């Protein structure tokens, strides 16, 4: 799939912007604070309806303006179709083929993207929240039902936490509502967990040989799921539901005391191991980078296998962070099959092979 055209209105520091892109490599060049990341981010938002930088959509609207609009024309399965995201202070609309989609899960997946930004180099070392975000965004774009369960789960979690806060103040109150919310949350939570397990199997399958290649055959990567309850990866849905039901009963008193939900997919994490050792704890900076790069490259292949088309790749200011060997690995993965957007302050650190076949875009103060 390709992004052929992008139009921005009042998006971050862009008042209006109209661009046509090459199907292969597009390099965005500009000094610091000119709008490179904003441009990459707008493509990410067009695909996934959310920013990779902030959960607050309002920040995407140009200062002193009422709304922001991102329009794109994409090419997928041999036809072109328009996508549009409009963000106002009241909320967000997503249009596919000019029709507003009531549920974001009906929209997400129309355009698949893989973003690799400097903060992703932190994926391994960073907080569990960052790894959950990574897994949620990636599964969401290949499985619309994941977004559906995730939206419901987080809504219920908020209600349940508010209720637990009330019960914390008066533990003797009626707990019927708590039971209702717990049961509903278990249903959606189990659907999330089982999809995460399926995704992890695929991610492992693709990331392992890539990691082995980048590390010149020296490193074996493994990824495990760190569950906040005791479900094993091969469990069926009904078993996951049962484990949650039992565990929630066991910890009810503790949850009321703490006033918050203590188990569930919102508390789970991923662990990465290289040659059997936890990379987060023992990995060198290079090993952590290689792991992050392997995951991103694995996503490209994974999406191709699940969706039947390559996603577009957004490399925000990250190429110069990778040494020549890692850059050439990246290059051999994308070849001419993945439409790639590269942003950089200087072309110096970028492989000549990439530059030779790229379209260049210069950005300056949002123009």
| Residues of this chain that bind ligand ATP (CB under 6 A) | 12-13, 30, 32-38, 59, 61-63, 317, 345
62 binds, among Mg ion, ligand ATP, none (CB under 5 to 8 A by kind): ligand ATP
Q: Are 182 and 252 in contact (CB under 8 A)?
A: no
Closer to Mg ion at the Cβ: 34 or 227? 34
38 binds, among Mg ion, ligand ATP, none (CB under 5 to 8 A by kind): ligand ATP
Which residue has its beta carbon closest to ligand ATP?
37
Closer to Mg ion at the Cβ: 28 or 178? 28
**Helical ranges in the chain per DSSP H:** 36-48, 104-107, 128-142, 144-169, 176-214, 237-258, 279-282, 285-307, 324-334, 352-356
Give the span between the Cα atoms of 147 and 156, in whole angstroms.
Answer: 14
Percentage helix, strand, coil, to 5, in the chain? 50, 25, 30
Residue of 55, 65, 71 whose CA lies nearest to 89:
65
Give the span between the Cα atoms of 338 and 272, in whole angstroms.
Answer: 27
Q: Are 152 and 192 in contact (CB under 8 A)?
A: no
Closer to ligand ATP at the Cβ: 69 or 131? 69
What residue ranges bind Mg ion (CB under 5 A)?
36-37
Please tell me the total number of residues recorded for the chain in this structure.
367
Take residue 182 and report the two structure tokens written for it: 């717990």
Smallest separation, CB 111 to ligand ATP (Å): 20
Smallest separation, CB 293 to ligand ATP (Å): 20
Closer to Mg ion at the Cβ: 37 or 110? 37
Take residue 299 and report the two structure tokens written for it: 């996503």
The edge-to-edge listing of strands for the beta sheet with 221-226 is: 221-226, 269-274, 277-278
Smallest separation, CB 36 to ligand ATP (Å): 4
DSSP E strand boundaries for 159-268: 221-226
Closer to ligand ATP at the Cβ: 288 or 343? 343
Closer to Mg ion at the Cβ: 337 or 362? 362
Smallest separation, CB 11 to ligand ATP (Å): 8
Q: Are 362 and 30 in contact (CB under 8 A)?
A: yes
Smallest separation, CB 35 to ligand ATP (Å): 4
59 binds, among Mg ion, ligand ATP, none (CB under 5 to 8 A by kind): ligand ATP
Give the span between the Cα atoms of 359 and 200, in whole angstroms.
Answer: 35
335 binds, among Mg ion, ligand ATP, none (CB under 5 to 8 A by kind): none
12 binds, among Mg ion, ligand ATP, none (CB under 5 to 8 A by kind): ligand ATP
Smallest separation, CB 127 to ligand ATP (Å): 22
Smallest separation, CB 83 to ligand ATP (Å): 21
Closer to ligand ATP at the Cβ: 54 or 230? 54
Helix (H) or strand (E) holding 282: helix 279-282
């Amino acid at each position: 799939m390709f992004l052929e055209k992008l139009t921005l209105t009042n998006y971050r520091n862009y008042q209006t912007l109209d661009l046509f892109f090459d199907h292969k490599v597009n390099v965005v060049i500009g000094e610091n604070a000119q709008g490179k990341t904003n441009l990459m981010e707008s493509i990410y938002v067009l695909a996934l309806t959310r920013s990779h930088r902030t959960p607050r959509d309002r920040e995407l609207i140009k200062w002193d303006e009422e709304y922001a609009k991102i329009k794109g024309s994409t090419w997928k399965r041999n036809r072109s179709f328009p996508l549009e995201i409009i963000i106002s202070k009241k909320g967000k609309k997503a249009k596919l083929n000019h029709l507003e989609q009531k549920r974001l899960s009906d929209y997400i997946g129309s355009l698949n993207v893989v973003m690799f930004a400097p903060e992703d180099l932190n994926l391994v070392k960073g907080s569990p929240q960052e790894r959950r975000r990574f897994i949620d965004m990636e599964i969401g774009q290949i499985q619309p039902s994941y977004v559906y369960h995730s939206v419901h789960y987080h809504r219920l979690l908020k209600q349940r936490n508010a209720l637990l806060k009330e019960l914390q103040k008066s533990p003797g109150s009626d707990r019927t509502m708590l039971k209702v919310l717990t049961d509903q949350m278990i249903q959606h939570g189990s659907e999330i967990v089982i999809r995460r397990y399926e995704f992890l199997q695929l991610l492992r399958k693709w990331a392992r040989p890539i990691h082995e290649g980048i590390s010149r055959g020296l490193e074996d990567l493994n990824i495990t799921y760190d569950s906040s309850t005791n479900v094993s990866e091969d469990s069926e849905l009904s078993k996951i539901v049962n484990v949650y039901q039992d565990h929630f009963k066991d910890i009810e008193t503790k949850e009321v005391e703490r006033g918050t939900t203590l188990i569930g997919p919102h508390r789970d994490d991923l662990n990465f191991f290289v040659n059997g050792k936890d990379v987060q704890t023992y990995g060198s900076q290079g090993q952590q980078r290689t792991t992050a790069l392997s995951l991103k490259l694995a996503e490209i292949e994974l999406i191709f296998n699940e969706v039947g088309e390559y996603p577009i790749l957004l490399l925000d200011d990250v190429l110069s962070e990778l040494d020549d060997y890692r850059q050439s690995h990246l290059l051999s993965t994308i070849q001419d099959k993945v439409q790639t957007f590269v942003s950089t302050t200087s072309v110096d650190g970028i492989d000549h092979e990439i530059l030779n076949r790229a379209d260049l875009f210069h950005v300056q103060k949002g123009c």
